[in-house]
Amino acid sequence: MKETPNHGQIDIYNFDDTIFKYLINEQLEVLWSNIEVLELDKNIVVYTEGSRPKGVYLVKKGILKIYKTNNEGKEHIIRFAKPNDIIGFRSVISDEPYCTSAKTLEPAVLVFVPASIFISFLKENNLFSLQLVKLSCKELGESNQFITDLALKSLKERLAEVLLILYNNFGTDKDNFLRITLTREDIANMVGTATESIIRQLAELKKENIIDLVGKKIKILDLKKLENLGKQ
């Protein structure tokens, strides 16, 4: 019925930890026979703001940044996508051009689901649409939080907030290093500030023994203090 090609350790046909687990077997069959697997290098653009959505992407491996670019070319990172996240569904559902772009930060494996298939699942399967309502409401809550953070907080507090978001999304390894490695510029583009300012603020946090810096890796030394800063 289905073969399982070997993409590293990844089982492309396993949707247990994704929103597609709410599909009925019949729909899973449709899904299996319509998906397309994409193996991408790092720094590959998956879709671009303004273009027409062809479908949604399920992340199987790797991390992507979801961002917007203003017309001076400066980019702003809205969020990241990690394995088992789906991206691009907002535009598919609204049937509008993508309002963001997506780019791989590291080599990635994506599963592409055509828009028509995705929409038909929504129409046929109420449990599935219900879960998608929940998902988009969750993202909406996060976006609203982010709006307030940007509007009311100081640079340092916003940086703390961003580090916490990264911590909650990607966790830390056994040595307390964040499991995502970003350039200073990427961090600046999340916080909405200049690279130099981020460097100075990171140095501040290090001086206060809240974090430690080893190359691009960031080590969380004092989560409590970081949370206090972020919750300011």
Partner DNA sequence: CGGCTCCTTGATCAAGGTCAAGACATGTGG
Partner DNA sequence: CCACATGTCTTGACCTTGATCAAGGAGCCG
Residues that bind DNA (CB under 7 A): 154-156, 183-185, 192-197, 199-200, 202-203, 213, 215-216
- DSSP codes, the chain: ------BTTB-TT--TTSGGGGS-HHHHHHHHHH-EEEEE-TT-EEE-TTSPP-EEEEEEES-EEEEEE-TTS-EEEEEEE-TT-EESHHHHHHTS--SSEEEESS-EEEEEEEHHHHHHHHHH-HHHHHHHHHHHHHHHHHHHHHHHHHHHS-HHHHHHHHHHHHHHHH-B-TTSBBS----HHHHHHHHTS-HHHHHHHHHHHHHTTSEEEETTEEEES-HHHHHHHHT-
Of the two residues 176 and 193, which places its CB atom closer to DNA in the complex? 193
Of the two residues 10 and 199, which places its CB atom closer to DNA in the complex? 199
Q: Which does 155 bind (CB under 5 to 8 A by kind): a second copy, DNA, none?
A: DNA
d(CA 164, CA 149): 13
Of the two residues 73 and 215, which places its CB atom closer to a second copy in the complex? 73
Q: Which does 232 bind (CB under 5 to 8 A by kind): a second copy, DNA, none?
A: a second copy
Of the two residues 14 and 145, which places its CB atom closer to a second copy in the complex? 145
Of the two residues 134 and 200, which places its CB atom closer to DNA in the complex? 200
Least distance CB 172 / a second copy (angstroms): 25
Least distance CB 128 / a second copy (angstroms): 9
Least distance CB 193 / DNA (angstroms): 3
Q: Which positions lie near a second copy, rule CB under 8 A? A: 68, 70-71, 74, 76, 78, 89-91, 93-94, 96, 99-100, 122-123, 125-126, 129-130, 132-134, 136-141, 143-148, 150-153, 191-192, 231-232
Question: How far is C-alpha 70 from the geometric centre of its chain's CA atoms?
Answer: 20
Q: Which does 132 bind (CB under 5 to 8 A by kind): a second copy, DNA, none?
A: a second copy
Q: Which does 94 bind (CB under 5 to 8 A by kind): a second copy, DNA, none?
A: a second copy
Angle at 97 between CA 49 and CA 183, to 5 degrees: 20
CB 127 within 8 A of CB 22: yes
Least distance CB 189 / a second copy (angstroms): 8
Of the two residues 14 and 154, which places its CB atom closer to a second copy in the complex? 154
